Structure 1
């Protein structure tokens, strides 16, 4: 019987598709770049949702947020939902997690034999008034008891109980400087704990699954002050082509995002508001520095796997839950928008094959397919109510089926992206979004009403309707044994 591979799922939070060195030379990620050379590099990978809780719920269950009952940022996964980690455990895998999960109030079985879940970005016992708690990665209505983790205990034992002992405000746009030793920085701590698990707790005679999930580079953008910031010159970082004025052609709720960054003055594109060039560059510097620190920690994990003789036998997935505007349209953060900056993500798949020659793959894929991928790699059945497509086909089959579109959602928004065009449908509204991504990859020009694309818009609307019907429960159930086929 062929040995079942170990499986390592490496995740970050809020990392854009282009915030990796192998896609963008402005970003320093030498370890991920090396991993990419031995991986299937998916250039058209998408999240199911632009927000943490629903995006992660879809990953863990293999079901879209609207299917698994967690369609918004404040809807916890229902207790009866089954995670793919619990299926791996039932199938003989030792399952473990280090880092962010964002299950939030989920009362079901997460599926881990060993867990060190760290959802915090800061010491929560006492937050300095100088620091805005709402920016540090958790809903504001959680109690202190909800936030207890080994990271919090580590900080408290080290004398850190206030945010201003670690951070100082760099800008009122959510940018902070970290000034303590990096071992007290949350992503440094998570990386170190991942190494500790691999050294001390990793089973020797049982296949294992490990989620190593970094809370960064999620806002607050706090990488200024890390040693990795020295690799960047802020004044040289590229600025986006778009501006806040481009939001005027989009659905009206896009203007809400400017409340934090300065309102658009309607009718006057000369005064669009939004982040200044200096603020965008400072934000990128903080964001990229955190990514580079995470890359160092990932590199140390990969080297340890090689030292232990496990690297060639381990399936490694790297991705993020969603992206961030990061200066596009003069704003940052993520919310109920199906913009490319938010739903397009980095995605690497390193097969459990020695000497695998990496390659670039343009097929559209979704993070909801991680569950089927891990179960298939483990030789286990994929439940009928999960998404069935496994990305293992891209290294096991000489001619894998390639997909020419991808679906995503956000509460009552539904989106479909094809090879050229992208549609976002707003339920119950007369407006929507439609983009020609070949001519306008930055989504600056909304063509929803443009006469020249109405035929393509109708085609994508039809495809979107087909997709939404296919996601319903029991849609393939037999009507009656004698009923004629439709």
Structure 2
């Protein structure tokens, strides 16, 4: 019997409600196709609302507090076990095209980083680079979002091979020469955009796997719609800003929230007391101080980025059909975490565990196995991907993985595999350290060494406007949820091996 293939397709920083099948203001025909042909899980969560920790959880099947890449600016140490190693051992080919972000942009002698300067832009190094890299026997990498100066690695090599000799004109200094004042419309031709690169190189690997009769675990990792908000024409004018619904803050909604929520609404917020590491506090951005015209344009550009990416996801799905691989390939589409583009008056990401940031789009397609055209509210977590992929391929799940096997849920044989999800955010050693427990109805967030927190009833208050943390009538509920959270923490401790003897 032919072993099933795995194709994981991810975006970066995509809000859960940005699929056209469920949002009439967007056009995403390729993702809509997956919705029709697979099961959409409406209660999927990330284990951390930033890139490195969650991406490391995807490949390890462990939470950030367990695998060690606990925030941005850290690395997933090379000695950590990854799911790619399990697939390679079972005879699979393993590949990653696009964004990895398992390592920081700066390395040290003690913690060197292949994704850092100056190696990042040493194209000869990347021309001859040989995997494996975190369990992938073949990788083609890039590090920049839109026009960031961090462009390099395999993406830059590809642009040169495609005849784009002036590719530095589309990126910021010190790497490139693009005018930093340009907003929303990225002058890069679509043929040289990283979406084109990811789809082309993904499809080349699919052709290779098909020709050689090889089973595969392949991750196509897109960079959009992560800010900065830039997209090439014609996608920059696809959406009329004046015809879109623009998320807004509800007046007074932060009055019951922890201090950093309200501080984002100030003209000159001071978060210096949080900078324990000495580096900038990432992601504490407000939407409220932007002009109305800019708020609207941000949403239009963000949607344009999603629609552009969707086109190239479609090219990958079409290639699976063309090669006759679709029937035996498990396709999962998701993102690493969500995004604020005005919700609650916030912008980008940070220490705010609203559904907008920690809930994610999540679709599974496996023809004839996973129910088509279905929706499920069974709670999912990205930490579950690794063990579930192994289970569906008939491979043993390492004891050290702490994610949950969701295979029976995906196949429609079981209603749920977990009754809660946990999201971690530890951006500094002590000053920014919080965890959220969310079940089918409630969500509670606790902060290290703080007496404030958040408690929301997602059934009665789906917009998360009324924080019940200090509500006297909710004291019993708070105590119950805190106990459930502690149980959940105890339950996710790793057991690297089973007990095999009485002493």
TM over 0.5: yes
RMSD over aligned CA atoms reads: 2.8
Instruction: Summarize deviations over 1:152-171 as a string: whole Å, max 9, x none.
Output: 23445521214268965578
1:237 corresponds in structure 2 to 244
**Alignment map for 1:410-429 (pairs within 5 Å):** 410-411=425-426, 412-429=433-450
Asked if the contact 2:369/2:411 (under 8 Å) is kept, the reply is: no
Aligned-pair distance for 1:447? 1.5
- Give the direction of change, closer, same or farther, for the CA distance of 1:405–1:356 in structure 2 (3 Å limit): closer
After superposing the two structures, state which structure 1 stretch, 8-17 or 238-247, moved more. Answer: 238-247
Asked if the contact 1:188/1:293 (under 8 Å) is kept, the reply is: no
SS in structure 1 at match of 2:461: coil
Aligned-pair distance for 1:257? 4.3
**TM-score, normalization by structure 2:** 0.82
- Give the direction of change, closer, same or farther, for the CA distance of 1:102–1:378 in structure 2 (3 Å limit): same
Asked if the contact 1:179/1:226 (under 8 Å) is kept, the reply is: yes
Q: Number of residues paired by the alignment? A: 450
**Alignment map for 1:248-287 (pairs within 5 Å):** 248-255=255-262, 257-258=264-265, 273-287=288-302
Asked if the contact 2:399/2:496 (under 8 Å) is kept, the reply is: no
Aligned-pair distance for 1:445? 2.1
Asked if the contact 1:365/1:403 (under 8 Å) is kept, the reply is: yes
- Give the direction of change, closer, same or farther, for the CA distance of 1:178–1:101 in structure 2 (3 Å limit): same
The one of 389, 396, 408 aligned to 1:381: 396
**TM-score, normalization by structure 1:** 0.85
2:473 corresponds in structure 1 to 452
1:292 corresponds in structure 2 to 307
Asked if the contact 1:96/1:210 (under 8 Å) is kept, the reply is: yes
Asked if the contact 1:47/1:343 (under 8 Å) is kept, the reply is: yes
SS in structure 2 at match of 1:10: strand
The one of 425, 429, 432 aligned to 2:453: 432
SS in structure 1 at match of 2:54: helix
2:136 corresponds in structure 1 to 112
**2:337 equivalent to 1:316:** no
- Give the direction of change, closer, same or farther, for the CA distance of 1:313–1:158 in structure 2 (3 Å limit): same
**2:90 equivalent to 1:86:** no
1:152 corresponds in structure 2 to 156
Aligned-pair distance for 1:95? 0.7
Mark the runs of 5 or more structure 2 residues left unpaired by the alignment. Answer: 105-112, 115-131, 271-285, 427-432
Distance 1:476 1:189 in 2: 41
Distance 2:496 2:188 in 1: 55
Instruction: Summarize deviations over 1:290-319 as a string: whole Å, max 9, x none.
Output: 110111101111111111111111100000
- Give the direction of change, closer, same or farther, for the CA distance of 1:440–1:184 in structure 2 (3 Å limit): same
Instruction: Summarize deviations over 1:134-167 as a string: whole Å, max 9, x none.
Output: xxxx7xxxxxxxx631212344552121426896
Instruction: Summarize deviations over 1:431-462 as a string: whole Å, max 9, x none.
Output: 00111222222222222101121111111100
1:348 corresponds in structure 2 to 363
**Alignment map for 1:68-147 (pairs within 5 Å):** 68-104=67-103, 109-122=133-146, 127=149
1:58 corresponds in structure 2 to 57
The one of 234, 246, 253 aligned to 1:246: 253
Aligned-pair distance for 1:280? 2.0
Distance 1:479 1:367 in 2: 30
- Give the direction of change, closer, same or farther, for the CA distance of 1:480–1:456 in structure 2 (3 Å limit): farther
SS in structure 1 at match of 2:261: helix
- Give the direction of change, closer, same or farther, for the CA distance of 1:123–1:421 in structure 2 (3 Å limit): closer
Distance 2:75 2:101 in 1: 9
1:461 corresponds in structure 2 to 482
SS in structure 2 at match of 1:254: helix
2:224 corresponds in structure 1 to 216
Distance 2:192 2:295 in 1: 26
Asked if the contact 1:239/1:277 (under 8 Å) is kept, the reply is: no
SS in structure 2 at match of 1:210: strand
- Give the direction of change, closer, same or farther, for the CA distance of 1:355–1:444 in structure 2 (3 Å limit): closer
Aligned-pair distance for 1:215? 0.8
Instruction: Summarize deviations over 1:246-290 as a string: whole Å, max 9, x none.
Output: 33432122345457x8659xxxxxx99433432221111111111
Distance 1:303 1:362 in 2: 28
SS in structure 2 at match of 1:87: helix
Aligned-pair distance for 1:479? 13
Distance 2:48 2:337 in 1: 7
Asked if the contact 2:11/2:224 (under 8 Å) is kept, the reply is: yes
- Give the direction of change, closer, same or farther, for the CA distance of 1:76–1:475 in structure 2 (3 Å limit): closer
2:109 corresponds in structure 1 to none
- Give the direction of change, closer, same or farther, for the CA distance of 1:362–1:288 in structure 2 (3 Å limit): same
1:268 corresponds in structure 2 to none
